Structure 1
């Protein structure tokens, strides 16, 4: 029998709760919940005001400051 979209969503949430527990399942769901606003419009506004050299300098400095930036730990 084909499941409805609602049944699949309910089953998916239940699998998360069973596997992670309620608190960690909610934390997981929040990680993927879309934010608010229009990122593209907001980004364009600050990019128009910021010289490219400043952006590149900031990126280089950030790499130096955080050598472990991709080793995220969720506690």
Structure 2
């Protein structure tokens, strides 16, 4: 199971949540950024339908895989 963590950080004169190196929009307060991170975290846990996905590898080969719509990550919010 994949674990992802949203972190609340000061950003651009306000507050944002960060996942990896990506920032959300800026919020005026820490509480607003945390509430948005909690909402995003909950959405990550929602199951979807199974689907087939296709993508091209660097060498030009196309790959087709079945994506399990029920294989959702564990999420946490820090800060």
TM-score tier by shorter-chain length is under 0.3
CA radius of gyration, larger in: 1
| Larger RCO (CA within 8 A; separation ≥ 6) | 2
User: Normalized against structure 2, the TM-score is what?
Assistant: 0.26
Which one has a larger percent helix, Structure 1 or Structure 2?
A: 1
User: Normalized against structure 1, the TM-score is what?
Assistant: 0.27
Which one has a larger percent strand, Structure 1 or Structure 2?
A: 2
